[in-house]
Chains A and B, each alone.
Chain A
Amino acid sequence: MIKTQGLTKVFKIGKKGETELVAVDDLSLEVESGEVFGFLGPNGAGKTTTVRMLTGLIRPSSGSAQVAGFELGEDDTNIRRNVGILTESPGMYERLTAEKNLTIFANLYDVPDIEKSVNKYLSMLDLWERRHDAVGSFSKGMRQKLAVARALIHEPQILFLDEPTTGLDPEASKTVRDFVEELKNEGRTIFMTTHNLDEAERLCDRVGIFQQKLLTVDSPSNLREKMFGRKVVFHLSEVKPEWIDLVTNIAGAGNVEAVDNKLVISLQDPEASNPEIIKALVMAGAQLRFVGEIRHSLEQIYLEMVKSTERGQ
């Protein structure tokens, strides 16, 4: 659905364009059909530039990309016809009604049955009652919902969502998030940039951490494993030093740390090793209270990646 090879964007800035700013550097990635891909990165990382390139709004400086089966730079009109974009700011025609806004875009996207499509999305996004009102009177959340409807009005195969919940209150954020989840269930391909890591973790099949360059791509759970390994914590009534040696010798166990009355053990395959560790500890007289896996949040992974990149620079 989306495939990029060495996609790069360099902006020339300054009065005479004497300074070069690399916004996107050598981006190569593939997003499969029906996948929800999260594109994470700090402000100014080049996320919006990437979305603009992939939607045919701006030209790459080098590299290539195929979007919805069309070659970027050669068939941009067809790319635009087959993708929907939710821009960072809703950018609606404030003096016009919600219905008129959608009708304009349905016409521009050559939607066959305009009235039906407009009515469908107005109802689906709870805007039906306000369809005859000027968008200028809408709340931020309502505008965002209308912008989502606009992005979907032509039933695109691929949807680009640039910071879909930024600046929205929790209720509006949830509405938009729920709708994205619905779209995911419909099997649409979604490329989403976001700062909201909790949202990314909940919605995305895979995430890419990006800061001018693509630092890593994987599913949130695989990233966790890659970054921190898998750690299991064994809560005991007390920790005896000999128990540390005991579990260290069990196959698959890595580093063992004793913290208060807990043993934190790095394991390659907790499902295989846990029964043996539990058995050994119990036989050694340990009173086991609780066993659980430590789950690092996507936020920790993200911060770690971004920090290490900054250190590298």
Chain B
Amino acid sequence: MKHIKTIINKEWSEVFKNRWVISTMTLLPMLFTALPLVMLATTGGSALSAEIGAESSGLPAGFVAGCAGLSATDCMQIYLLNQFMLMFMMMPLMIPTTIAAYSIVGEKTTRSLEPLLATPITTIELLAGKGLAAVIPGALISYAAFGVFILGGLIIKLSPAVLAYILSPTWLLGILVLGPILSVIAAIFAIYVSSRVSDPRVAEQLSGMVIMPLLLVMFAVLAGKIVINIWFMLIAIVVCTIVAFGMLHLGTIIFDRENILTKWK
């Protein structure tokens, strides 16, 4: 545990000394928090008045069926929230990627990897340290952004139905449970990429690919092919947990110290 803590401490000491990394890490959550609030504030006013029936708003039929008892504005806002919540899920994917993508290739380029691997640290300790150093800020920033979003929702006076939707088990599970699991997947993927490439820029770009499955889900939701509900979230949690464990196991097998040291030039 001491070795893992040391690696986390080392990673954070380096990352948080770099203003650009901090800017990248904070800008996105600020944008993803502010944008939905602005959109909700504007739609809550006049854009979609109560007279416009939900049926005629162009919303997917599967979604509209779940709007029974809600005003058209609430229904539209909940529909928008579904998209924004998925954007919130991007945060735990993107923030760890920024940190983890650099974690191994950065050490290769500064030639600090060899002395590090020459210590008694085990592969699992090294990966856990590097991974957690990326996952923890991702999860914490996502939680903080979600907290700010709820606070913002209260300030712009979202209707009780919309607020209840934000705080529904579906999205609480999504943000509080699925988010960190996605962070773990993103971090392991980025560390794996980082250990295989020789250029930090390539590592960052390739690691960014981890966002693709989530984008597909977003498009499917937009097209009305998927409706996000508690079952969808529970299945996503189970599947992503299995994927995360599988990747962790695979990561320890394929993280080959020798190859990383001798085949990166």
Contact = CB atoms under 8 A, between A and B. Distances in A.
Contacts of A58: 257-258, 261-262
A100 B112 CA distance: 14
A105 B3 CA distance: 10
Contacts of A59: 258
A96 B114 contact: no
Interface stretch (B26-34, B43-51, B118-126, B150-158): B118-126
A85 B118 contact: yes
Interface residues of A, number: 32
A57 B120 contact: no
Nearest to B125: A108
Given A58-B262, A91-B114, A77 B120 contact: yes
Nearest to B2: A107
Nearest to B15: A95
Given A104-B6, A107-B3, A107-B6, A91 B111 contact: yes
B255 to A, nearest CB: 14
A93 B10 contact: yes
A117 interface: no
Main secondary structure of the interface of B (DSSP, over half): helix
B18 interface: yes
A304 interface: no
Given A11-B262, A93-B14, A105 B110 contact: no
Size bracket of the B interface: 20 to 34
A100 B13 contact: yes
B252 to A, nearest CB: 15
B15 to A, nearest CB: 9
Given A87-B115, A108-B119, A93 B110 contact: yes
A87 B117 CA distance: 11
B148 to A, nearest CB: 30
Interface in B231-265: 257-258, 261-262
A109 interface: yes
B112 A93 contact: yes
Given A57-B258, A58-B261, A59-B258, A92 B2 contact: no
Contacts of A57: 114, 117-118, 257-258, 261
B111 A89 contact: yes
Interface string A62-94: 000000000000000110110101010111111
Given A87-B114, A93-B110, A110-B2, A104 B262 contact: no
A52 B18 contact: no
B114 A108 contact: no
Contacts of A151: 115
A55 interface: yes
A105 B13 contact: no
A55 B17 contact: no
Nearest to B10: A104
B111 A108 contact: no
A252 to B, nearest CB: 51
A85 B114 CA distance: 9
B119 A80 contact: yes
Contacts of A100: 13
Contacts of B122: 77
B265 to A, nearest CB: 12
A145 interface: no
Interface of B: 2-3, 5-6, 9-10, 13-14, 17-18, 110-122, 257-258, 261-262
Given A95-B13, A108-B116, 6 more contacts: A52-B114, A52-B261, A57-B118, A85-B114, A93-B112, A105-B119
10 contacts: A57-B118, A80-B119, A85-B115, A91-B110, A91-B111, A93-B10, A104-B6, A107-B3, A108-B120, A110-B2
Interface of A: 11, 52, 55-59, 77-78, 80-81, 83, 85, 87, 89-96, 100, 104-105, 107-110, 147, 150-151
